[in-house]
Amino acid sequence: MLLSSPSPLPQAAPQGVFVTGTDTGVGKTLTSAILTKAWQGTYWKPFQTGLAEEEGDTPTVQRLTGLPDRHFLPPAHAFQAPLAPAAAGLLEGVALDPDQLTLPAVPQAPLIVEGAGGLMVPLTDTMLMIDLIARLGLPVILVTRSGLGTLNHTLLSLEALYRRDIPVLGFITNGPASPQNSQTLERLGRTRSLHHLPAIPGTPEPHDINRITGQFPSWEEIWNLNSPL
């Protein structure tokens, strides 16, 4: 049996995109940095956890892109523990209310929203990250590994998005090149491969971002849905 039917994409470019992934550590922040730099957009990560161990994704994206402060919005919620937002908030005595989150007006369009973890990360006892994505109404860019296991993880994620009528702009693979996997995902997942990010040895640096953004489709090209990327 094939996946559920994808939801149609809007005919005109929306306010922005929601960057999510098939897992934690799959390359969402690297992808978000590339999109923000390539499109000269505004970056926003509503939920940040793990600040006891790292500086957080917003400073990381700003360092990688070199863009000024006006391209960055602070997280709506930031927590110290490296846990899912629901668990991290509980430790700090903060009751999350994702229903109150709305898309901010941004000085530099488009808006690039980065999720925390994968689609099924709990925000509260009754709300998952995928529920927030549906409520915000932005089309999704799904970041996935390129190698072994990606077919299962990516198709499961696409099925979950399609069942909730969330439009998917396409997917971005990260790691060693595997054209066969990308072609299979396009065919079975009924979506587009937007780009492949090659493996970066060591920690990504601004020159890596500059090199990749020079090859990345523009915001206008991404929304020319009838032409190949």
> Which among 138, 136, 44, 72 is positioned nearest to 98, based on CA atoms?
136
CA 98/CA 76 separation, integer angstroms: 9
Looking at residue 110, what is its pLDDT? 95
Q: Cite the beta strand spans of 28-126 per DSSP E.
A: 42-44, 47-48, 72-73, 77-78, 111-118
pLDDT in tens, 68-106: 999 999 998 888 888 888 888 888 888 888 778 899 988
pLDDT of residue 79: 85
pTM of the predicted model, to two decimals?
0.94
Q: Which residue numbers in the chain have pLDDT < 70?
A: 1, 225-229
| Residues acting as catalytic residues | 45
- Residue linked to tokens 């629901």: 86
Q: Specify the pLDDT at position 173.
A: 96
Give backbone dihedrals phi and psi of 78, rounded to 5 degrees, phi first: -135, 130
**What CA–CA distance (Å, rounded) separates 72 from 61?**
9
| pLDDT for position 207 | 93
Q: Which residues is 170 bridged to in the sheet?
A: 141
Both structure tokens of 155: 């198709």
